[in-house]
Amino acid sequence: MGVLKTFFKDTFIYGLAIVLPRLINFLLVRLHTDVLPNEGYSENTEFYVVAAFFNVILTYGMETSFFRFFSKSKDKDSVLSTAIIAIVVSTFLFGMLLFLFRDPISVALRINTDFYSLLVGITLIDTLIVIPFAYLRVTGRPIKFALIKLINVLIIVLLNILLLSTVYGSAALRSLFNVENNVEYIFIANLLASAVVLILVLPYFFKSKLNFESQVLKQLLNYGWPIMIAGLAFVINENLDKWLLPQIEGEFINGAYSACYKLAVFMTLFIQAFRMGAEPFFFNHSDKENATQTYATILKYFTIVGTLGLMIVVIYIDLLRPIFIKKESYLLALDIVPIVLLANLCLGIYHNLSIWYKLTDRTRFGMYISMIGAAITIGFNVLFIPKLGFMACAYATLLAYGFMMLISYGLGRKYYPVPYDVSRITIYLLISTAFSFITYYHLDRNMLLGTLFLLLFIAIITFLERKELRLILKKK
């Protein structure tokens, strides 16, 4: 239990580092949907879809590779220095290409030429800070990591308010920028905040003596390139819907869909916070005698927290929704929320299960699994958006992540067996999904009945986990 306590403590701190800034940033959804028309919010979404695509290409799996080899290498300075030099050089070269071919690239990606330079700037800076942030995580410095993340998001929020708010906005600040479209202020705020973060992490570029080892780079690249392909597939799984929907259904519909998709952020934040603490822990703990049992326990409690989160958001959606989205034109896609929440929970379980191919250096399997998910996403969206509209996008996300979860579990049993409590995990998933969907789709979001379902679910968890809960309480 001591190991788990350390894990949960680090995860909690990393959770604050991710959840608190992202939650603060999420509050901007209300400002953006109040100020921007649906079409403008769609432009904002498509901008960050392309940014996500660029980020995966520019980092080419280096973050996870760095975790893997820094954790097990005796010459850690060599791994750090080589990773930093590789990222800096490749980012510079890629940036030159992006600026040289700005016109054909911006046209191909459907990015307004006024936004293109901002897109490239944000992407390049965010790539450069990847290894410094990874270094903070792998060396166990979550508080410093959290502080820098918080500074970043506070700058973004402050600038968004000053540039966009009709009440608290600053006309003097707005006059500094020659902007015709309000959505451009969002990108300017992001670029300035990223630049501040780069300045804050600059000392970590010189943390070790600059020493480039071609053999180390070869190991990093061999391990990382399948992760890059898997990352590209993930971008497709996560964002293709927001890329296809405006072409098929129009920007107005995509704006509503993208805004309502944000309401699933609570599950996304939980998963991201978990991964921040879990990934370094899994690598550093892999040589321990009880490692597989620890991984199994972590997944079970991850599922418990995730299923409770699913039910809470779905049951109390009518209380949460007005806080973040008030304008009625955005609410026509609200029915996607339960499906997207469940899809992201499946994704979180998949990330837990994926430890088998990372620890056994079979990252190509992660690539294959993600490519299967991407194929499902592409096929389902192309076939069913014309028939089902935006609901097809939500179903495609659930199918893709559900299949990825099942495939990863099946392969993991062969290559790196972990004694997961499959029966309990399945019970929690089925009961929480049934209660959530019944409450939302069949009981007209009745909060009283939903609350009774939630209390019943908590009682079931308490009964089934009573032995472990007693042990935890005795430890305290």
Three-state SS sequence of 266-297 = HHHHHHHHHHHHHHHHHHHHCCCCCHHHHHHH
Across 45-49, 63-67, 173-177, 425-429, the highest mean pLDDT is recorded for 425-429
Q: What percent of the chain has pLDDT above 90?
A: 53
- C-alpha 31/C-alpha 28 separation (Å) is 5
| Segment 34-40 mean pLDDT | 92
Phi-psi group of 154: left, alpha or beta (phi > 0 → left; psi -120 to 50 → alpha; rest → beta): alpha
313-333 in b/e burial notation, b at 16+ Cβ within 10 A? bbbebeebbeebbebeebbbb
| Segment 316-334 mean pLDDT | 91
Which residue type occupies 83?
Answer: A
Task: Compute CA 43 distance to the chain's CA centroid, rounded to the nearest angstrom.
Answer: 20
DSSP 439: I
Band of pLDDT at residue 2, cut at 50, 70 and 90: low
- C-alpha 102/C-alpha 96 separation (Å) is 10
DSSP 181: S
| Segment 231-259 mean pLDDT | 91
- C-alpha 389/C-alpha 384 separation (Å) is 7
| Segment 282-288 mean pLDDT | 69
- C-alpha 78/C-alpha 75 separation (Å) is 6
Band of pLDDT at residue 475, cut at 50, 70 and 90: low
Spatial neighbors of 423 by CB under 8 A, at least 6 apart, are: none
- pLDDT for 362 equals 86
- pLDDT for 28 equals 86
Helix axes 130-138, 265-285, angle to 10 degrees: 60
Residue that the structure tokens 């379902």 belong to:
453
CA dist list (Å): 398 to 288, 337, 381, 438: 35, 11, 12, 17
Residue 476 pLDDT > 60: no
Residue 201 pLDDT > 70: yes
Q: What percent of the chain has pLDDT above 70?
A: 91
| Coarse DSSP helix, strand, coil percentages of the chain, rounded to the nearest 5 percent | 85, 0, 15
- pLDDT for 286 equals 67
Q: Pull the structure tokens for residue 12.
A: 């909690």
Residue 284 pLDDT > 70: no
Residue 449 pLDDT > 90: yes
Across 86-95, 133-142, 227-236, the highest mean pLDDT is recorded for 86-95
- pLDDT for 474 equals 66
Q: Pull the structure tokens for residue 43.
A: 């432009």
Residue that the structure tokens 């990847």 belong to:
130
| Segment 170-175 mean pLDDT | 87
- C-alpha 461/C-alpha 359 separation (Å) is 31
pTM: 0.84
- C-alpha 209/C-alpha 330 separation (Å) is 52
- C-alpha 450/C-alpha 435 separation (Å) is 7
- pLDDT for 78 equals 85
* Chain mean pLDDT for the chain: 88
Residue 419 pLDDT > 60: yes
- C-alpha 127/C-alpha 105 separation (Å) is 19
Q: What is the pLDDT of residues 372-412, one digit of tens each?
A: 999 999 999 999 999 999 999 999 999 999 999 999 999 99
- pLDDT for 277 equals 65
Residue 340 pLDDT > 80: yes
Band of pLDDT at residue 8, cut at 50, 70 and 90: low
